[in-house]
Structure formats: C-alpha cells, structure tokens
Chains A and B, each alone.
Chain A
Amino acid sequence: MSLVADTSRPVDAVTAAGKAHTDSAAAFVPDKSRAERTASFDVADFPVPRGREEEWRFTPVKKLRGLLEPGATGRLEWDTFLPEGVTVSTIPSSEARELGALPPQDRAAVVAADVEKVTLVDIPAEAELTEPVRIRLIGDDATQPIHEHIVVRAGHHCRATVLFAHRGSAQYAQLVSVLTGDASDITVVASQRWEDDAIHLAQHDALVGRDATYRHISLTLGGKIVRLNANVRYAGPGGDATLLGVYFADAGQHLEHRSFVDHNTPHCKSHVTYKGALQGASAHTVWIGDALIRAEAEGTDTYELNRNLILTDGARADSVPNLEIETGEIVGAGHASATGRFDDLQLFYLQSRGIPEDEAKRLVVRGFFADVIKQIPMADLRAEATAAIEHELATTAYAAAATSDSTTPEHTSKEN
C-alpha cells in the first residue's frame, strides 16, 4: 500500500497496513481550493454539467440529463419503521433552510433541493433509541425522474441510527441534510441495493453539533449509476465524524463516492474509510476524498483512506485523495489510496493450508472488507452486507464452484 500525503504542510506520517499494491493515485492538486466550490440553493448557479467539470469528470453525465433538469414529479414509495418519539412530517423548503440545511454543492443536489415540500425526520433531544429508524425508499420506474430533499434533525444528547435502504428501479436525485445536536451520537446508514437500471445521485450532508459523534456508512452494491457524496461540516468544536463506505461494482456499473470534510472549526476529528471491490468488464468505481483544514481549525485530526481490490480484468477504479491544510497547528492529517489485485503471497499461504484457490480468494475479499463491515452498528445490516458480498462473489468467474461448507455468512459476520 502506498501512502500519499500532501507534503506542503506538516503531515503526520500514517502507516497504512497492507501489502504493496499498484498505486492508482498520486495526490491530486486541484486548480482551485475546495473552499471556492459553489454552494447554493439557486439552480441557476449550477449549469448542467457536460463532463469536463472538476466535480463531474468521472461521471457518465450524458446518461443523467433528464434527472438534472428541475421539475421532476415522480415519487419513491416510503416504508418506515419509527421508534417511539421519532416523527416524520412535511415542511416547506424555506423552513428546511431555516433549520440549517447546508446548501447543495452540485447540479444534482440543487435540483433535489428545488422542491416545495421537504420531509423532516425528527429525533427528539436526549432520546436514546434502541432500535434504528428504518426508512425504505422503493422505486418502481426507472424512467421517471424523482427529486427529493430529506432533513434529519437530531436533538442534543440523543443517540440514534437512521437507515435509508434504497431498493427497486428509479432515477433519483436526493439531498439528505443531517443536523446533529450538541453531544449527540448519530449514525446514518445508506444502503444502495438498487436494480440494474437505477440511477441515484445523492448528497448527504451533515452539520455536526458541538461534541457530537457522527457516522455515515454507505453500502453500495446495486444500481447502474450511483453517485453518493457524503459531506461534513462542524457546528462547533469537539465534533467527531466517521465516513465509511463499502462498494462492489459488477460489469456495467458506475459506483462513485465522494466525501468532503470541511474542517471549519477547531478540535474536530474526521476519519474516512472507503473500500471497494470490482469485477467484470467496464465496472467502474470512483472515490474522491476531499478534506479541507481551514486556518481556524486548529487541533484537527483527519485521515482519508481508500482501497480497491480489482478481481478480474477490465474493471477500473479511480481514487483521488485531496488534502488541503491551511494551518500547521493540527493533531494529524493523512491520506492513503491504493488499488491492487490479489496478493499472491496471501493466496499461496492460504492454499498451502489446503484451501482451494476460489475459497482462498473469497476469504481474502471478505477479510478486505471486514474492518469496515464490523463498524456497521446493526447486526442484521452487517449480516446483510456480508451476505450481499458473498452473493457478488458467488457470481465471480473464479468462484463458480461453490464447494465450501466451511464458513457460512453468519459465522463470517460474527467472527470477522
């Protein structure tokens, strides 16, 4: 694994575990600071992208056109499970902005926010939810564009997990604005298990409260094009944000994850880890990890990591970490990005213990994802993620002969 770090400022050396893989990305130096990127609720501020723009250069924009025009009328079916005390209501979009929803940062997000009604998920202050808020968003039509803005408001000192489970077929531009109260502990899980024809463009923003803990976990397995931007800003010092992602791209899928952590406040932490596997012709994944440590953000501690495992020929993983540091008074900052194939030594070691090649590869892939999956807070979702990866692996050419009875998904999710 290679370590790529911004060398223009003091950077903590971070030792990344793992074996040498081919380096897919040198630190990317953008022509302008992330701080200068447009953020606005005005659709006119974001021209329809043509594919050359910095924030769209990896995305197949030609396939998105209808979705990027304002005025969509379609709707997803909502299927919710709300623990006691949690409410879902509809508010005018003006009110969403007054609550503090952060402005959109690209064309897809601005059209998603250009709606009259916003759905508000309200978690009261000091609530300690023992069950997650479960929101299934189900589409049944991939031809009808849908724009949607959802606000999750979590009161101070509450603890909650909110699951957005995306299923079915849809053409969906989504803005999710998470406002976390002081000292709250909030986990948002976004599970993308769409059908093969779905397009999902999402911006998930969090404004992290003072001393609050925030986790965002993306699990992206299905869909034709999924582009999910998970962003963080801090409302006060002491915030701790963790952004995690697991993705698995098959032939023909474009799965893109971007994150932007805006360290605008002193003494905040951020930790970003995305791991992906790819297989099949033209499977494409993109990871862009932006972090900006502003001059006022003294005492910041941030680390961005992306690793990709390419399982078969013809797949492509783009990986671009970008760290901008405007103050030397930080605790740590680092990033690493590596894309590689199977490690021959690992496979030899496993095979030399009698484990057939297919099974050795499955074991390595499961192991590759294990550290992220074990941070998913719900056991059923961990099991689902593990089973979904098993399912993907079962369709891999090398894994065709399912001879193994040694490890079941339940075992794996428990032990790894």
Chain B
Amino acid sequence: MSTLEIKGLTVSVHTEDGPKEILRGVDLTVSSGETHAIMGPNGSGKSTLAYSIAGHPKYTVTGGTVTLDGEDVLAMKVDQRARAGLFLAMQYPVEVPGVTVSNFLRTAKTAIDGQAPKLRTWVKDVKQAMANLRIDPEFADRNVNEGFSGGEKKRHEILQLQLLKPKVAILDETDSGLDIDALRIVADGVNQAKDETNVGVLLITHYTRILRYIKPDFVHVFVDGRIVEEGGKELADRLEDEGYDRFLTAASA
C-alpha cells in the first residue's frame, strides 16, 4: 500500500517578466489501487502538476509538500523519484536518437530494480507487453520515440508503465490524439497494470472520453492552478454535459 500525498503545492515558472505562478495550492492524495481523474481546460496547469511531481527542472516549487509513503519527493532528484516508485507518462514523449527501445527499456528496468532483469523472463515480458499494446516487435530496434506517430508514442509510454511497475503513475493526456481503437488499447494497458500491480493512477485529461474505459474513483476539476471541485464518476458525466464554463466563470469572478 503506497500513498502519494500532495499538500498546498505552489509552483512557478521562470518567464522573461520574472516568475509566474501556475500552481496555486494543490491538495491531493493518491493511494494504491485508486484512480483519480484530473480534468481541466487547456492551460489550467495540469502538465505543470505532473512535471513538478516528476521533478522537471523548468518548474520551481515555491511552497507545499509532496511525499510518497512519507518520503520527501521534492528533495529527490528526477531519477530518484522514479526509483522511489513514481512514473510519468508524458504528454509529449521525447525522442532519443541512437538509443533503441530495447536498450532503453532494459536500462530503465535495471535502474528501477537496482539489478539487471533476468534475461529470459525479461525478453518474454517485453514481447508480451508489446503484443498486448499492439506494438510491432520491430519497434524494439527502433530509436526511442524517433519517427513514432502520436499514438505509437503513447503506447510506448504505457509499455513502460507496464514494465517498470511503479507505485503511482501520472498519465498526462495519454488519451489526446488517439483514435478510438488506440484509446481502447491504451486503456486496456492501464487497466491491466492496475489489476496486476495495484498501481495508483493520476489520470490527467481534458475530455471524459477515456473515463469510459478507465473508471475513476475520484474526479477533480482543475482550473487556474488549483482543484475547484471534487466528486465521483458522476462529476465527469456532468462535465461531459456542461463543459468547464461553470468553473471558469467561478474562477474569474
């Protein structure tokens, strides 16, 4: 049982006109087995939240705490956070020229586990996970994200989720840019990870579409750098019908 606890988190980015505050006090707790959907309009700070938890150097934490099972996440380097059990499926995965997917996966797995995986089971696990996500076996020899389509990049992120087995995973708009078939495959991949490892999931999305396939236990509406309303699955249905207008007026009022 693991718990990611975010309290009063404020984050700013550096701009030419000085620091700009983007997260304005976020409180959120995600435990093993739970799925939390964070829904909000573009520019509300969802990716900022995801990147700040992962430790992206662009974002400066100006206040609040983030802990994983009581350990101070904010004091950890990026790689330490991953080894502690955090995973971020990125909205825009990065190309790494000359580094093959298989080399990358094995290197990451070795780093996370602190030892190289047993070759036979590893090769089998990778093949199986790639097959489940309908990733062509030849992708193992391709360079990481190089020349991948949008959907292929997202499936490659979920492949890593399945193989690295984090305690808590943040999925940043993993659904965006996916057609319905790809969305189903990706959602199945996330659900399978949930079943197998009881991973806690923080699912960031703009649309309710993915929530038909990945059932959230909690829904948080995120506007202007903070959570403005919380509820269960029914809140997502309401957003589907009403959109974010109600919250936007509330926030600017």
Contacts and interface: CB of A to CB of B under 8 A. Distances in A.
B185 interface: no
B14 interface: no
A415 B100 CA distance: 7
Interface string A168-193: 00000000000000000000000000
A113 to B, nearest CB: 39
A367 B99 contact: yes
Interface string A346-385: 1011111111110110011011111100000000000000
Interface string B72-114: 0000011101110001101001111111101110111011100
Contacts of A353: 79, 82, 104, 108, 111-112, 160, 164
B247 to A, nearest CB: 30
A416 to B, nearest CB: 6
Nearest to B85: A354
B56 A369 contact: no
Interface residues of A, number: 34
Contacts of B106: 406-407
A345 B164 contact: no
A355 B111 contact: yes
Tell which of B87, B90, B97 has the most Cβ of chain A within 10 Å: B97
Interface in A391-407: 404-407
A412 interface: yes
B3 interface: no
A349 B164 CA distance: 14
A47 interface: no
B137 interface: no
B97 A345 contact: no
B216 interface: no
Interface string A6-24: 0000000000011100000
Nearest to B108: A353
A415 B98 CA distance: 10
A352 B55 contact: yes
A257 to B, nearest CB: 20
A367 B88 CA distance: 23
A344 interface: yes
A32 interface: no
Contact of A355 (B56, B79, B81): B79
A371 B55 CA distance: 31
B57 A344 contact: yes
A352 B83 contact: no
B93 A349 contact: yes
A354 B55 contact: no
B79 A416 contact: no
Given A348-B78, A352-B78, A354-B112, A368 B107 contact: no
A369 B103 contact: no
Contact of B110 (A19, A344, A406): A406
A359 B111 CA distance: 10
A230 B107 CA distance: 37
A354 B95 CA distance: 17
Interface string A137-160: 000000000000000000000000
A416 B103 CA distance: 8
B98 A349 contact: no
Contacts of B146: 17
B238 to A, nearest CB: 34
B94 A345 contact: yes
Given A354-B108, A355-B111, A416 B78 contact: no
Nearest to A358: B79
B111 A354 contact: yes
A369 B98 contact: yes
Given A352-B82, A406-B111, A415 B164 contact: no
A350 B54 CA distance: 12
Given A353-B108, A354-B108, A406-B111, A348 B103 contact: no
A407 B141 CA distance: 15
Given A348-B78, A406-B110, A366 B164 contact: no
A416 B141 CA distance: 8
Given A352-B54, A363-B107, A407-B106, A357 B99 contact: no
Tell which of A363, A368, A406 has the most Cβ of chain B within 10 Å: A406
A412 B103 contact: yes
Contact of A367 (B94, B98, B164): B98
Contacts of A63: none
A344 B51 CA distance: 14
A221 to B, nearest CB: 18
Given A363-B96, A367-B96, 16 more contacts: A346-B95, A349-B96, A350-B96, A350-B108, A352-B79, A352-B88, A353-B108, A354-B82, A354-B112, A363-B104, A366-B99, A367-B98, A370-B98, A406-B106, A406-B110, A406-B116
